[in-house]
Amino acid sequence: MRGPVSKKLILWSLVWFSIITMSLPTIIIIGASFTSGEMIQFPPEGFSLRWYQRLWQLDDFQQALLRTFYVSVICTIIAIPVGTLAAIATVRYRMRFQKTIQVYLLLPFTVPLVVSGISMMLFFGEIRILGQLWPVGVALCIINIPFMIWSVSASVNSLDPELENAAYNCGAPPVQAFLTVTLPAVMPGVITGSLLMFILAFNEFLVSLFLTDSRTVTLPVQIYNSVRSVITPDLAAVSVLYIVFALLAIWLLDRLVGLEIFLRSK
């Protein structure tokens, strides 16, 4: 009995060690955000909601938050048709240079973000759109599109081709078969990829740093600019908002798709 008991003890010890290690930064930042003092610290100095209240009184924070949502929405809107069609094409159809195309679609994910940020800054500057907000959403879509392709590809791989053939045999044209059979079947992957694209765009800092200025700064860049001067508890409050946003995204994903489908798609 010692063998199984020892193995179980070691396994659960590693599990709890991992849980505690991953949870500590979150616990610390949440506690620090409720401090009543002027400096960020843990344990907090008293308890107060003043820093959360202060966030909504800062015009810079509100504007940066709205710009970040705007950029994330643009990124997601572009990624849905592009990533869905790319995934279906690469999985279901045989094309010349298919492997090359698949590698090319994954290239933005393998290139370092610094390189992507600099190259997009030069390109957007050359075509005179640098400094506008919507190109930031396009850029974030380009670097994160592999996640959308992977998510939809997992659903396409589980799709029975006979369902589409049955639609064709019933007289449905290709577009109708796609809209009534293929698209609903891969919708879990589309929803998963869309949420991923939105979250990744919402959190992206490095590429946004190269493509924004003082008029178009997004929330991650705004946080970075604030950290460079002084770290105050309102930055901890912003971090907690990011945590809440992530929890809401996970809850929404579980309600719409199911976490088991999401994890299986990875």
- Identify the CATH number of the domain in which residue 107 sits: 1.10.3720.10
- Tokens standing for residue 243: 């945590």
CA–CA dist 244, 113 (Å, integer): 26
Res 120 pLDDT > 80: yes
CA–CA dist 10, 6 (Å, integer): 6
User: By C-alpha distance, which of 123, 117, 253, 108 is closest to 188?
Assistant: 253
Q: Is residue 94 classed exposed, middle or buried when 0-12, 13-18 and 19+ CB atoms within 10 A define those classes?
A: exposed
Per-residue model confidence as pLDDT tens digits over 172-211? 777 777 777 777 888 888 888 888 888 888 888 888 888 8
Say if 27 falls within a structural domain: no
Say if 82 falls within a structural domain: yes
| CB within 8 Å of 69: residues ≥ 6 apart | 202
Res 78 pLDDT > 50: yes
Tell me the average pLDDT across 130-141.
88
DSSP 171: T
User: Any bridge partners for residue 130, and if so which?
Assistant: 132
Say if 5 falls within a structural domain: no
Check residue 45 and give its pLDDT.
73
Say if 254 falls within a structural domain: yes
Check residue 216 and give its pLDDT.
83
CA–CA dist 210, 39 (Å, integer): 30
Domain with 162 in it: 51-265
Mean of the per-residue pLDDT values of the chain: 79
Say if 16 falls within a structural domain: no
Check residue 236 and give its pLDDT.
76
Preceding amide of 108 cis, omega within 30: no
Say if 3 falls within a structural domain: no
How much of the chain exceeds pLDDT 90, in percent?
Answer: 5
pTM above 0.75, yes or no: yes
Counting the structural domains of the chain, the total is 1
pLDDT grade for 1, boundaries at 50, 70 and 90? very low
**Residue 125 CB: number of other CB atoms within 10 A?**
12
CA–CA dist 123, 138 (Å, integer): 12
Say if 21 falls within a structural domain: no
DSSP 130: B
Per-residue model confidence as pLDDT tens digits over 15-33? 888 888 887 877 877 777 7
Least confident of 154-158, 166-170, 253-257: 253-257
